[in-house]
Amino acid sequence: MADLITHVCTAFLLKSATRRAYTPVFVAGVVLPDLLSRVPSMGLSFLQREGLAVPDALIYCWTPMHLPAGILLWSVALAALGDIIRPGVGRAWFLNLLGGGALHLGVDLLQSHYTGGYLLGFPWSAEPFEFAWIGSEATVWLALPLALFTFWVWRGGSNTSPSPAH
């Protein structure tokens, strides 16, 4: 959970430095890599441990949704859906989803993992990569202070006047 909080905070902090357009879509792009890959895999693994005959391939097939190829795929699909729902937003949705996914992956690449990193070149390369500058649990202690700081920045910092509508 701390990692998800950290991802959301990085999205809001980055958007606070801009005109904040499409912030919800950008935040969605930051959380979707974990939601589309980790959540189905965890749920199916739980069912398998409980005795249901879930093939390993079904558990691990979600992993690409957390890699550049998967991020590109769901960014395109959701942008197209956005354009159907509200014509004219597809390009902005695509860029914000892709940007959020890239930010997510960028933060994850700072961590060291037991698996040795991410397959950034999937499906063309199986070479894992990560910077391994911090442990994968390093954000746990940071989550609450970062959330409070993010809220403070997003609300305008020490500025007591309301922020202009964008």
Radius of gyration for the chain, computed over Cα atoms and rounded to the nearest angstrom: 18
pTM: 0.84
Residues 103-116 have pLDDT tens digits of 999 988 887 776 76
Q: Which two tokens stand for residue 102?
A: 């890239």
Instruction: Using the structure block, give the residue that is written with the tokens 């960028």.
Output: 106
Average pLDDT in the 34-58 region? Answer: 95
Task: Give the lowest-confidence range in 28-32, 81-85, 107-111, 116-120.
Answer: 116-120
Q: Which two tokens stand for residue 66?
A: 């957390």
**For residue 98, which amino acid is it?**
L
Average pLDDT in the 24-38 region? Answer: 95
**For residue 108, which amino acid is it?**
D
Question: Which residues, in sequence order, are bridge partners of residue 129?
Answer: 118
